[in-house]
């Protein structure tokens, strides 16, 4: 690749990144709060498969989260979930969960504990 071609590719990439909506930056890192007993739907809004690591922040020693795959397929820490399947996971403070979700996937997560669970996810 010539220097001129590399420079044009870089310039085009810079323009595309600069033209992204401000909310696109939220996709790179997003924080979710799971209130006790209240189901929360989480969608993959990207045009590609989501592959993210989520760090858990809780005050209790551990809390159980349940997830139901509502649309498409996904994976949590190596456990494959197809549409309609569910999983129950016990999380501790600072646990890191590896989550993969198909394009357009939706999962419903419910906090089964007594206090809020915060998950900070990064692509």
pLDDT tens-digit profile of 2-56?
544 443 444 434 434 444 444 554 558 899 999 999 999 999 988 999 999 999 9
For residues 70 and 102, the answer to whether their CB atoms sit within 8 Å is: no
CATH number assigned to the domain covering 25-122: 2.60.120.1540
pLDDT tens-digit profile of 77-123?
999 999 999 999 999 999 999 999 999 999 999 999 999 999 999 97
User: DSSP string covering 16-72, please?
Assistant: HHHTS-TTHHHHHEEEEEE-BT--EEEE--SSS-EEEEEEEE-SSS-EEEEEEEEES
Q: What is the pTM of this model?
A: 0.75
Question: Domain residues of the chain, as ranges?
Answer: 25-122
**Closest to 123 (Cα-Cα) out of 14, 11, 24:** 24
């Amino acid at each position: 690749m010539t220097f001129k071609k590399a420079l044009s590719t870089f310039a085009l990439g810079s323009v595309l990144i600069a033209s992204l909506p401000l909310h696109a930056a939220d996709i790179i890192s997003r924080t979710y709060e799971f209130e006790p007993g209240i189901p929360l739907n989480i969608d993959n809004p990207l045009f590609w498969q989501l592959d993210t690591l989520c760090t858990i922040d809780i005050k209790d020693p551990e809390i159980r989260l349940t997830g139901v795959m509502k649309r498409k397929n996904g994976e949590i820490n190596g456990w494959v979930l197809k549409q309609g399947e569910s999983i129950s996971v016990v999380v501790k403070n600072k646990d890191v969960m590896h989550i993969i979700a198909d394009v357009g996937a939706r999962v419903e997560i419910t906090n089964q504990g007594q206090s809020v669970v915060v998950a900070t996810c990064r692509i």
